[in-house]
Amino acid sequence: MNAAIATVVGLAAGLHAATWGMFKDAPYEGFCPRRFLRSPIVAGVAALVVFAVGHLPSGTAAAMAELFGLTYVIERGIVEFYKTFLRDEDQSKYAIPMQLSVRGTVVTDRRTRLLAGAAYAVGILLVVWFVDAIGSQGAGGLTVVLVVGSLGGWISAFGGAWKDAPVEGFQPFKFVRSPLVALGYALVLASLTTDPVYAAFGALGYTVATLETYKTFFKPDVPRGKFAGKDVQFPEWLERRYRFVPLYVAIWAGIVVTLVVALVQPHTGLV
């Protein structure tokens, strides 16, 4: 795989995330080209960095499959970190605050949010270090995948519960959904790579892509939790947003084909 292919994979991951985000938000916030292009740009850069410094599995299809998941989770992590800890925005338009909040109350002090963001980033790095340490010891097999495969999903589950539960209440099925889906994807990716970090966090990227697809396109009339109870401000986008669906379907088709091709090729993986 070369830099050009890596860039295409990153742009695809970013466009995928941007499309489901726009589809759910545009009727309430309108369509903003700058916001829509943010994810492809961040994901494109992230893909090039991973390609340059990482150790992707041999074989173009396997490398592309791993890179898509990794790029997806990196882009989502960067964007959500920015919105939670760095961005200052009027939160009154949201039913669920997007900035850091405690029991549903927004933390307005910027210094406190920055310190919390730093602590969160350190925590994520420690999890990555822990998973990488397992791989450095030469550990592999189904047991390792079962241990580390759902870690990314648990990070997502706890983060979502922290933000949503004070407003929506705690939902047990929703809480365990991400870890279970992440574990399934980790089992798939673990057959393509010997790096548990790639398997665990690539699986989280696919988990976000899958669950957001389900919540967005299988329940198009159900507003995102952050807009629950809010009035539609841009009704024209209830129809216009469907113009982006063919692009979204095409990206999913490419993902599925790439995974199938990668899986039928011989590889040395964790399992």
pLDDT of 268 strictly over 80: no
**pTM given for the model:** 0.89
Query: How distant, in Å, are the alpha carbons of 85, 151, 206, 227, 262 from that of 118?
Result: 9, 20, 26, 28, 37
In angstroms, the first-to-last Cα distance of the chain is 23
Distance in angstroms (rounded) separating the CA atoms of residues 30 and 22: 9
Dump pLDDT digits (tens) for 151-189.
777 777 777 766 776 666 677 777 788 888 988 998 899
What pLDDT score does 221 carry?
A: 81
- Is the Cβ–Cβ distance between 115 and 146 less than 8 Å? no
3-state SS assignment for residue 106: strand
Dump pLDDT digits (tens) for 200-219.
899 999 999 999 999 899 88
> For the chain, how many residues are written?
271
Distance in angstroms (rounded) separating the CA atoms of residues 241 and 23: 6
pLDDT of 12 strictly over 80: yes
- Is the Cβ–Cβ distance between 186 and 137 less than 8 Å? no
Distance in angstroms (rounded) separating the CA atoms of residues 215 and 44: 25
